[in-house]
Amino acid sequence: MTTVQVTKHASDGRPPYTYPARLIEAPPGWVAVEARWPMRRVDAGPISFLPGDLLTEFFALDDYFNAFLVHRPDGVFGGWYCNITHPTRYGQDEIHWHDLYLDIIIDVDGQVHLEDEDELEESGLAVSDPDLYQTIIATRDRVLALIERNAYPFSYQE
């Protein structure tokens, strides 16, 4: 069992958050881990992260998103939380990802929610970095299509 350190870099410049995780099998172009939610309850739109939740995390190495499958400590499905990100950096037992505003959430009833569009617009990227802005929008559309087709990582079965 290989343990890695996962570091989230926030889009708003907040200090990075690092936590341990265990590598699991993933197809080429991906790195996947399992981790326990170590923090207090966090309500994230239509889903919540609860202390002890098991997160199965899928990081695209060549694309601009990741996806976290949430299960409660008793194994009950808690939802999916997808982040639009810069491509993940992975090496030397470390995973680094940098958040890019938009989130896509699948709640326990299977409803898809797009979150934080206001944050993306307020960021000014449409003017200051139109290429990155268009990449974020195109990635959002690709992720929504993957969800619709139940394609990896959304097809993941333990």
pLDDT digits (tens, 9 = 90+) for 105-121: 999 999 999 999 999 99
Q: Is the pLDDT at 69 greater than 90, yes or no?
A: yes
pLDDT digits (tens, 9 = 90+) for 5-32: 999 998 777 778 889 999 999 999 999 9
- Nearest CA to 53 out of 64, 66, 65, 42 is that of 42
Q: Indicate yes or no: pTM above 0.95.
A: no
Which pair of tokens denotes residue 36? Answer: 């326990």
User: What per-residue confidence (pLDDT) applies to 158?
Assistant: 63
Q: What is the mean pLDDT of residues 39-47?
A: 89
Which pair of tokens denotes residue 39? Answer: 């923090």
Q: Measured between alpha carbons, how far is 4 from 22 in angstroms, rounded to an integer?
A: 6
Q: Measured between alpha carbons, how far is 105 from 112 in angstroms, rounded to an integer?
A: 6
Q: Which single residue is written with the structure tokens 């470390």? A: 94
Q: Which of 16-20, 56-60, 145-149 has the lowest mean pLDDT?
A: 16-20
Q: Which CATH superfamily is domain 3-149 in?
A: FomD-like (2.40.380.10)
Q: Which of 5-14, 25-34, 83-92, 128-137 has the lowest mean pLDDT?
A: 5-14
Cross-strand partners of 77: 71
Give domain limits for the chain.
3-149
Q: Measured between alpha carbons, how far is 92 from 119 in angstroms, rounded to an integer?
A: 33
User: What per-residue confidence (pLDDT) applies to 89?
Assistant: 94
DSSP-derived letter for residue 120 is H
- CB-based contact 32:24 (threshold 8 Å): yes
Q: Measured between alpha carbons, how far is 75 from 118 in angstroms, rounded to an integer?
A: 33
User: What per-residue confidence (pLDDT) applies to 46?
Assistant: 93
DSSP-derived letter for residue 16 is P
